[in-house]
A and B are shown apart, each in its own frame.
Chain A
Amino acid sequence: NAGVTQTPKFQVLKTGQSMTLQCAQDMNHEYMSWYRQDPGMGLRLIHYSVGAGITDQGEVPNGYNVSRSTTEDFPLRLLSAAPSQTSVYFCASSYSGPTYEQYFGPGTRLTVT
């Protein structure tokens, strides 16, 4: 099993550009989530999904969109990048919610100039 994969690993955007961060898992997990990690602030939940077709907002959803058309994929879209979105983004999946062991991807380091 590949586990949770994320692409790209690094990305530089200019303010106002849009892009999609890809996340895929091959463990047939129902729950998937996106977090951002900023220095000294731990991980903050952006959006999550409890199954295909079902998404909900986390703690810091503004400026981000998600969709879940399949169990395997959970892309994160930045609509109009801002410098405040410079961060490291992690995708995670678990069997049935965050109270089960979550498996994390390697992260995407995004810089917005």
Chain B
Amino acid sequence: SQELEQSPQSLIVQEGKNLTINCTSSKTLYGLYWYKQKYGEGLIFLMMLQKGGEEKSHEKITAKLDEKKQQSSLHITASQPSHAGIYLCGAPSRTAGNKLTFGGGTRVLVKP
């Protein structure tokens, strides 16, 4: 079965600084989804990457998919307190498209 490993597991960043989260898959990626979870709440969809080399941005968050490395990265520029939360990556299986596997999550704390 596919496994997704996220790094780091947690990080503390000073407000205004940049941060990067990585998501590495044990198998070929056929799409990658990023979600954010505020503490004690449900997940909110951030963005979806479907093709190798694809890069998407929304406000100050940029995600890239490196198909060859079986990896995706999420980069936040000039972090703000609103960026605090848990970021999770998810990927579908080639053989079981109705199932999404999630990584363990990266906990982000932004210090003012």
The A-contacting residues of B in range 6-56, CB under 8 angstroms, are: 6, 9, 31, 33, 35, 40-45, 48
Task: Find chain B residues with CB under 8 A from A4 CB.
Answer: 42
Among A33, A40, A97, A107, the residue within 8 A (CB) of B42 is A107
Task: Select one of A50, A103, A105 contacting B98, CB under 8 A.
Answer: A50
**Is A26 interfacial (CB-CB < 8 Å)?**
no
Closest to B4 in A: A42
Q: Which residue of B lies closest to A44 (CB)?
A: B102
Cross-interface CB contact of B104 among A42, A56, A59, cutoff 8 Å: A42
List chain B residues, Cβ under 8 A from A34.
none
Is B9 touching A104 in the complex (CB atoms < 8 A)?
no
CB neighbours of B104 from chain A (8 A): 40-42
- Cα–Cα, bound, A111→B34 (Å): 28
Number of A residues contacting the other chain (C-beta, 8 Å)?
A: 27
* Residue A31 lies at the interface, judged by CB distance under 8 Å to chain B: yes
Q: Is the CB of B99 within 8 A of A42?
A: no
**Contact assessment for B98 and A102 in the assembled complex, using a CB-CB cutoff below 8 Å:** no
Which residue of B is nearest A49, CB measured? Answer: B98
* Contact between chains at A45 and B100 (CB < 8 Å): yes
Given contacts A43-B88, A98-B98, are A90 and B48 in contact (CB under 8 A)? no
Distance in angstroms from A28 CB to nearest chain B CB is 18
* Known contacts A31-B98, A44-B102; is-contact A98 B43 (Cβ 8 Å): no
Collect the chain B residues with CB atoms within 8 Å of residue A50's CB: 98
For A102, the chain B residues whose CB sits under 8 A away are 35, 43, 45, 100
Are A58 and B99 touching (Cβ within 8 A)? yes
Task: Please name 19 pairs of A and B residues whose Cβ atoms are closer than 8 Å in the assembled complex, sorted by A.
Answer: A33-B100, A40-B105, A42-B102, A42-B103, A43-B88, A43-B102, A45-B99, A59-B101, A92-B43, A97-B98, A98-B33, A98-B97, A98-B100, A99-B97, A102-B35, A102-B43, A106-B41, A107-B40, A107-B42
Residues of B bordering A, CB below 8 Å: 1, 4, 6, 9, 31, 33, 35, 40-45, 48, 88, 90, 92, 97-105
